[in-house]
Amino acid sequence: MTQTVTPIPLTLLPQPPVRAAQYGLVDAARATSDVRWQFGGDVEVLDCPRTVDHWDPSGCPPSTKPEKPEPFHDVIETFPIEPTTLVVSVTCAPVGRADMEQRARRSLELGTSRGIEEHYWRSRLAQTTTAIAGTGLEPDAALGALEQYRANCGVEGVIHARPELIARWCQCVADDGGVLRTQPLGTLVVAYTGSPNTGPDGTAAAAGTSWAYVTGNVRVLLDPIETFQDLERRRNDMTVRAERAAVAFDNGCCGPAAVSVAL
């Protein structure tokens, strides 16, 4: 006698919570703008500190008439921004999956900071960058070099580093209202989950080292997320694509400057 065994259906358990990594570039620098930026543009470098000269007429002989410095005729400096489009696609059979658009949106929202971090690192940090203080510095010495470079610029700034390095600054970096700042100087620190760990010449870091950068203050601009659908009729698959334009740029007043750190 043959006995029929009824298969037990698989139980789908709810996924544990998924949250984007903390202390990324979007957390630290997200902003809004009424200016259309999605197709690129230039940043005007207007308000950076300049060399301060000293004019002291008190030491001139009585017969010498001091002359005031010539007026400063400035040429406005600019540098280009490079927007990118972040894309996430979700594909599955459309039957019974009414949540595909929501899943695509959620996935792109989770990956936005990682995506813009990788783009900004490659297009700005690892380009036309000054390498400071040699290579393979100890973590505390590297943090000091980055802070001193920023201080020499005379402005607030941002330190860009990978979590593996920031973890070694645990005595000098702390949470401050949802962002990381150095202690006691208060410089913003961004933890790059989307870092390719490349140096100023674009090459990968040597084994056992990590690159860190410093810039002036940074702004991140994000478009709203849009979704698009495409049905593959031969396989009856539906693809939902979520997209958003994004750009990150600094104020041009400091760096980028980089240091290689031994881990």
Asked, for residue 249, whether it belongs to a domain, the answer is yes
Tell me the pLDDT tens digit for each residue of 31-47. Answer: 888 888 999 889 888 78
Which residues of the chain are modeled with pLDDT < 70? 1, 51-75, 93-97, 128, 233
What gap in Å lies between CA 10 and CA 44, rounded to an integer?
Answer: 59
Angle subtended at Cα 225 by Cα 224 and Cα 231, rounded to the nearest 5 degrees? 150
Record the tokens describing residue 118, joined without a space.
């990788």
Q: Determine the length of the chain.
A: 263
Record the tokens describing residue 72, joined without a space.
């400063």
pLDDT recorded at residue 15: 86
pLDDT recorded at residue 137: 93
Nearest to 24 by CA among 104, 110, 84, 85: 110
Nearest to 111 by CA among 188, 222, 228: 222
Handedness of CA 117, 118, 124, 126 (dihedral sign): positive
Asked, for residue 130, whether it belongs to a domain, the answer is yes
DSSP state of 137: B
Asked, for residue 30, whether it belongs to a domain, the answer is yes
Asked, for residue 200, whether it belongs to a domain, the answer is yes
Asked, for residue 223, whether it belongs to a domain, the answer is yes
pLDDT recorded at residue 182: 97
Place of tokens 């610029």: 153
Asked, for residue 56, whether it belongs to a domain, the answer is no
Asked, for residue 129, whether it belongs to a domain, the answer is yes
Tell me the pLDDT tens digit for each residue of 157-193. Answer: 999 999 999 999 989 999 999 999 999 999 999 999 9
DSSP state of 50: -
Cβ(260)–Cβ(135) below 8 Å: yes
Question: Which residues contact residue 209 at a Cβ distance below 8 angstroms, ignoring those fewer than 6 apart?
Answer: 135, 136, 260, 261, 262, 263
pLDDT recorded at residue 25: 95
Q: Can you give the residue range of the structural domain that contains 179?
A: 25-40+77-262
Asked, for residue 10, whether it belongs to a domain, the answer is no
pLDDT recorded at residue 8: 80
pLDDT recorded at residue 68: 58
What gap in Å lies between CA 29 and CA 32, rounded to an integer?
Answer: 10
Nearest to 28 by CA among 151, 143, 177, 163: 177
**Total tally of structural domains belonging to the chain:** 1
Q: Extract long-range pairs of 144-149: CB within 8 Å, 24+ residues apart.
A: 145/259, 146/187, 146/212, 146/213, 146/214, 146/257, 146/259, 147/182, 147/185, 147/187, 149/214, 149/254, 149/255, 149/257
